[in-house]
Amino acid sequence: MAGQTVILCGKRQREFAKTLVESAPIGSVLNIREATRTTDQNAKLWAMLSDVSRAKPKGRRHTTDLWKALFMKACGHAVQFLEGLDGEPFPVGFRSSQLTKPQMSELIEFIYSYGAEHGVIWTNEAAL
């Protein structure tokens, strides 16, 4: 039995998952996790990060990657900054792709709040 991924979106998928568990050999590993962020959420995040970067709140001139790390840290996600060869800090060890849908929504709402406080004009108001 090769690795199986089952998205539990209804009764039929739950029944199939139970069948897989019952037929799994001893020593198999089961991993159940919440779904990660959506493609739409990711697109929204990057559009917002671009808007914040262009707005330069409080005179801050950061790349979108650095803004993402700053917002993730502000929302309580583990982020580490190292000093680059040029003396500028850069983020390492963070990945928004691992955030769950609710965590990504929280991050987006935090960026909206920050943007509202700092006069950011949003260019992409598409609903998620």
Q: Whole-model pTM above 0.85?
A: no
Q: What is the pLDDT of residue 15?
A: 94
Report the SS3 class of residue 37: coil
**Residue range 23-61, pLDDT digits in tens:** 999 999 998 888 889 999 999 999 999 999 999 999 999
Q: What is the pLDDT of residue 80?
A: 79
- How many residues belong to the chain? 128
Q: Which residue has the higher pLDDT, 113 or 84?
A: 113
Every domain of the chain and the residues it spans: 1-32, 39-117
**Residue range 93-113, pLDDT digits in tens:** 777 888 899 999 999 999 999
> Which helix or strand (DSSP H or E) is residue 82 part of?
strand 80-83
Does the domain at 39-117 match CATH 1.10.10.10? Answer given as no
Burial 52-64 (b: 16+ CB within 10 A, else e): bbeeeeeeeebeb
Q: What is the maximum alpha-carbon separation in the chain?
A: 60
Report, in angstroms and rounded to the nearest whole number, the Rg of the chain calculated over CA atoms: 19
Q: What is the pLDDT of residue 19?
A: 92
Report the SS3 class of residue 73: helix
